[in-house]
Amino acid sequence: MNGDEKSLIAEQLKKRVAGVEELLAKLEEGDMDENEIQAFLKETLKVDWETKIQSQYRLHWLLSTGLVRKSGNRYFISNM
Protein backbone atom coordinates (compact mmCIF):
# COMPACT_ATOMS: atom_id res chain seq x y z
CA MET A 1 0.00 0.00 0.00
CA ASN A 2 1.47 3.36 -0.98
CA GLY A 3 1.18 6.65 0.90
CA ASP A 4 -1.80 7.93 -1.12
CA GLU A 5 -3.75 4.75 -0.48
CA LYS A 6 -3.00 4.91 3.25
CA SER A 7 -4.12 8.55 3.35
CA LEU A 8 -7.37 7.71 1.56
CA ILE A 9 -8.09 4.81 3.92
CA ALA A 10 -7.23 6.95 6.94
CA GLU A 11 -9.69 9.65 5.85
CA GLN A 12 -12.42 7.07 5.33
CA LEU A 13 -11.79 5.55 8.76
CA LYS A 14 -12.16 8.98 10.35
CA LYS A 15 -15.42 9.62 8.50
CA ARG A 16 -17.05 6.19 8.72
CA VAL A 17 -15.89 4.38 11.86
CA ALA A 18 -17.32 5.50 15.17
CA GLY A 19 -14.67 6.55 17.65
CA VAL A 20 -11.71 6.83 15.28
CA GLU A 21 -11.64 10.61 15.10
CA GLU A 22 -12.24 10.90 18.85
CA LEU A 23 -9.48 8.40 19.61
CA LEU A 24 -6.99 10.23 17.41
CA ALA A 25 -7.82 13.49 19.18
CA LYS A 26 -7.34 11.81 22.57
CA LEU A 27 -3.99 10.32 21.50
CA GLU A 28 -2.86 13.82 20.52
CA GLU A 29 -3.00 14.55 24.27
CA GLY A 30 -0.69 11.64 25.10
CA ASP A 31 -0.07 7.94 24.67
CA MET A 32 -2.46 5.33 26.03
CA ASP A 33 -2.53 1.59 26.62
CA GLU A 34 -5.23 -0.76 25.38
CA ASN A 35 -7.20 -0.68 28.64
CA GLU A 36 -7.25 3.12 28.65
CA ILE A 37 -8.35 3.17 25.02
CA GLN A 38 -11.10 0.63 25.72
CA ALA A 39 -12.42 2.69 28.64
CA PHE A 40 -12.21 5.92 26.63
CA LEU A 41 -14.12 4.51 23.66
CA LYS A 42 -16.79 2.90 25.83
CA GLU A 43 -17.39 6.20 27.63
CA THR A 44 -17.17 8.38 24.53
CA LEU A 45 -19.38 6.20 22.34
CA LYS A 46 -21.73 5.20 25.18
CA VAL A 47 -21.36 1.49 24.39
CA ASP A 48 -21.12 -1.55 26.63
CA TRP A 49 -18.52 -3.68 24.88
CA GLU A 50 -17.74 -6.77 26.94
CA THR A 51 -14.46 -7.50 25.14
CA LYS A 52 -11.68 -5.37 23.68
CA ILE A 53 -12.20 -6.61 20.12
CA GLN A 54 -13.94 -3.43 18.88
CA SER A 55 -11.12 -1.28 20.27
CA GLN A 56 -8.55 -3.67 18.83
CA TYR A 57 -10.11 -3.47 15.35
CA ARG A 58 -9.80 0.30 15.44
CA LEU A 59 -6.23 0.17 16.71
CA HIS A 60 -5.14 -2.31 14.03
CA TRP A 61 -6.70 -0.17 11.29
CA LEU A 62 -4.96 2.93 12.64
CA LEU A 63 -1.65 1.07 12.90
CA SER A 64 -1.94 -0.21 9.33
CA THR A 65 -2.55 3.29 7.97
CA GLY A 66 0.40 4.70 9.90
CA LEU A 67 -1.71 7.18 11.88
CA VAL A 68 -0.83 5.44 15.14
CA ARG A 69 2.26 3.61 16.34
CA LYS A 70 2.87 1.24 19.22
CA SER A 71 5.83 0.99 21.57
CA GLY A 72 5.63 -1.72 24.19
CA ASN A 73 2.00 -1.62 25.33
CA ARG A 74 1.50 2.10 24.55
CA TYR A 75 -0.18 3.58 21.48
CA PHE A 76 0.66 7.07 20.24
CA ILE A 77 0.15 9.38 17.26
CA SER A 78 2.62 8.81 14.45
CA ASN A 79 4.79 11.68 13.25
CA MET A 80 4.29 10.75 9.59
What span, in angstroms and rounded, lies between the C-alpha atoms of 56 and 61? 9
According to the model, what pLDDT value does residue 1 have? 62
Instruction: Indicate the average pLDDT of the chain.
Output: 93
Q: Is the pLDDT of residue 80 over 80?
A: no
Q: Identify the band that residue 3 occupies on the pLDDT scale cut at 50, 70 and 90.
A: confident
Q: Identify the band that residue 52 occupies on the pLDDT scale cut at 50, 70 and 90.
A: very high
Q: Give the mean pLDDT of 54-60.
A: 96
Q: Is the pTM of this model over 0.75?
A: yes
